[in-house]
Amino acid sequence: MLEIFLKTVPFFGLIGLGYGAGRTGFFSEEATAWLTKFVFYFALSAMLFRFSANLSFAEIFDARLAAAYLWGTAFTYGIAMAVAFIRGIGVRTAAIEAQCAAIGNTGFLGVPMLALLLGQEAVGPIILVLAIDLIVFSSLLVILVTGSTEGRMSFGILRTVGLGLLKNPMIVSISLGLVVSASGVEPPVVVNEFVTILGNAATPGALFAIGASLASKSAERLVVAGWLSFCKLILHPLFVGLAAFLFFPVNPFQAAVVVSAAALPVAGNVFILAQHYGIAPHRVSASILISTTASIVTVSAVIAWVTG
């Protein structure tokens, strides 16, 4: 585990550097928002396009692997919602809590870190995990929250979900990359060099942005946030591991990648959604802060376990 931990230290060190810059005021919230926007729309999208353009659809999509990750994530999601209902929480807040419990920071942290730690062979499964999170569970959140608010399902809800997916630069960049890959046309050297240079900014930019954004997060509702962090860092990789190794067995390397991805801390976009809908933003904020801090140890432990 020590060897894996030492390999993850530089990644979390960049997060710590960003946190320090945000905490001291050297990097304002506005500056953090603009850096996040650059990474999200440009650097990370370029990285995902380059990765997917060099992979076939078969290298990304594996039905058993998708089933394993879906089962493990849905089970964690269901447990978090059930506990919320037992506590007397409504559907809207329960859905946000479930999102904290089951959706990790795959885009900003998982793609750059796991691709370097586990090798280029891990890129396909990582992209699959990211696509499932964005297409299935982000859509589920919108459906639950909007449907609960309106009291019924409508075409407008499905339209909102569809437009959200079409406007997500990560989904767009992955799709465009797969189209290029399927066409068999080799991108010009100048295009490859352009997306490589731009994509190389994703790793330091994303990690620094994570840290800087944490500086503005509050640590309220610690009991609930602690429970949700436990779900995300422990239960989620455990259930995904059970599915990938036992229920829908895939090859050990694929299983190791999706379990490592499941061990990532709560995704930052859950806070954006919580703010957008006005649902428990402080609870989500604390969950991100606690899970990201604890993940310095837990992510290393999980990666060491599944790769060992």
CATH number at 249 reads 1.20.1530.20
**Is residue 146 a contact partner of residue 112, using CB atoms and an 8 Å limit?**
no
Identify the burial level of 15 via C-beta atoms within 10 angstroms of its C-beta, where 0-12 means exposed, 13-18 middle and 19 or more buried. buried
Domain that holds residue 187: 2-307
Q: Could you read off the pLDDT of 176-204 as tens digits, one per residue? A: 999 998 888 888 889 989 999 999 999 99
Token readout for 91 is 């559907």
Q: Looking at residue 150, what is its pLDDT?
A: 66
d(C-alpha 32, C-alpha 225), whole Å: 23
3-state secondary structure of 187: coil
Residue ranges of the chain whose pLDDT lies below 50? none
* Phi, psi dihedral angles at 279 (to 5 degrees): -120, 110
**Is residue 224 a contact partner of residue 83, using CB atoms and an 8 Å limit?**
no
Run of H or E including 196:
helix 189-199
Q: What is the DSSP letter of 216?
A: T
d(C-alpha 145, C-alpha 159), whole Å: 14
Residues 6+ apart with CB under 8 A from 275: 281
**Is residue 217 a contact partner of residue 287, using CB atoms and an 8 Å limit?**
no
Q: Looking at residue 151, what is its pLDDT?
A: 60
* Phi, psi dihedral angles at 105 (to 5 degrees): -85, 60
Opening angle at CA 280, ends 274 and 283, nearest 5? 105
In the chain, the number of structural domains is 1
pTM, to two decimals: 0.92
**Is residue 177 a contact partner of residue 52, using CB atoms and an 8 Å limit?**
yes
Q: What is the DSSP letter of 54?
A: T
Q: Could you read off the pLDDT of 13-58 as tens digits, one per residue? A: 999 999 999 999 999 999 999 999 999 999 999 999 999 998 888 8
Q: Looking at residue 210, what is its pLDDT?
A: 94
**Is residue 241 a contact partner of residue 258, using CB atoms and an 8 Å limit?**
no
